[in-house]
Amino acid sequence: MAGESAEDLLALAVATAREAGDLVAAMRAEGVDVADTKSSSVDIVTRADRTCEELVRERLLGPRPGDGFVGEEGEDVPSTSGVRWIVDPIDGTVNYLYGLPQYAVSIAVEVDDRIVAGVVRSPVPGLEYAATLGGGATRNGAPIRVRSTPPLTQTLVATGFGYEAEVRDRQARSVARLLPQVRDIRRAGSCALDLCGVAAGEADAYVEEGPNVWDYSAGGLVAQEAGAVFEVWRTSSGKDLVVCAPADGWEGFSALVRACGFLGEDPR
């Protein structure tokens, strides 16, 4: 990192995420403008998504012009420094549209193809999850750890659904197989916050098909540093499947995910 530490990069990410979170919260108070759609008519982009990503790009690449940048809304910038920023300006845009508080600014930093730091900032409740590789995970500055793993039948599983009808149909069938075998499921609407929820012991596991690298990079590091196993698999349809659970419950949960058909194969 040319003499830079993960802590230095995290400090820049945190300062940027706080400013960006304040921006999108203020814009939400003024009303939401839907600027475009993506994969389907219900997969929206707001003016705040774009404005926030522009701010984050300026704050990160302004002092570090050689770094790369990949974000949900704008064009990718290649890295000449070995450092790349991975950004979701608003993870949970539909929640944002409806005035629900479960949305976040997610910023991860990758050095030589490895995530070394990340922050997930949820501005309305004032929650900030952060981690560095090998340095542990925090929520609002206090260390966090995953919950002790219960039996699978007592597992609370966070999940989510894509925006394409065909994908949703497949996901719904997998969740229907999962539900009788666990305590319950939760669908909060933000991949980054779901992963942080596992890290903080607010859920026992998480599985979702379809998140992108900007959705899960920061939250995945937070979960890992809090004691979870975080993996990204590939489904039969070519989409990412994000799977996360505490290390001591990983074997059982990951086997259940496969058995319920989340990878796209019919388990019957």
Q: Name the CATH superfamily, with its identifier, for domain 6-143.
A: Fructose-1,6-Bisphosphatase, subunit A, domain 1 (3.30.540.10)
The pLDDT value recorded for residue 31 is 76
Q: 3-state class of 136 per DSSP?
A: strand
DSSP 37-96: ESSSTTSEEEHHHHHHHHHHHHHHHSS-TTSEEEESSS--B--SSSEEEEEEEEE-HHHH
Domain extents in the chain: 6-143, 152-259
pLDDT digits (tens, 9 = 90+) for 3-17: 579 999 999 999 999
Task: Tell whether the model's pLDDT for residue 249 goes beyond 80.
Answer: yes
Has 88 been annotated as catalytic?
Answer: yes
Highest mean pLDDT among 35-39, 71-75, 176-180: 176-180
Mean per-residue pLDDT, 222-251: 96
DSSP-assigned letter for residue 265: S
To which residue do tokens 């900030």 refer? 128
Of the candidates 53, 67, 73, 88, the residue annotated as catalytic is 88
Give the number of other CB atoms < 10 A from CB of residue 232.
Answer: 14
* Residue 90 is a catalytic residue: yes
pLDDT at 257 over 70: yes
CA dist 108 and 116 (Å) reads 8
Catalytic residue among 46, 53, 86, 90: 90
Whole-number mean pLDDT of the chain?
92
CA distance 62 to 49: 19
Residue 159 — very low, low, confident or very high, per pLDDT cuts 50/70/90? very high
Percent of the chain with pLDDT over 70: 92
* 215 is known as an active-site residue: yes
Considering the segment(s) 152-259 as one domain, its CATH architecture is: 3-Layer(aba) Sandwich (3.40)
| Spatial distance between the Cα atoms of 232 and 82, rounded to a whole number of angstroms | 22
Q: Which candidate in 49, 53, 67, 91 is catalytic?
A: 91
Q: Are the C-beta atoms of residues 1 and 133 closer than 8 Å to each other?
A: no
The string of pLDDT tens digits covering residues 70-124 is 998 778 999 999 999 999 999 999 999 899 999 999 999 999 999 999 999 999 9
pLDDT at 24: 94
Q: Exactly one of 110, 215, 225, 235 is catalytic; which is it?
A: 215
Q: Residues with Cβ < 8 Å from 232, sequence gap 6 or more?
A: 216, 220, 240, 241, 242, 243
Give the three-state DSSP class for 233.
strand
First to last CA, the chain: 49
DSSP-assigned states of every residue in 166-188: HHHHHHHHHHHHHGGGSSEEE--
Catalytic member of 67, 72, 73, 128: 72
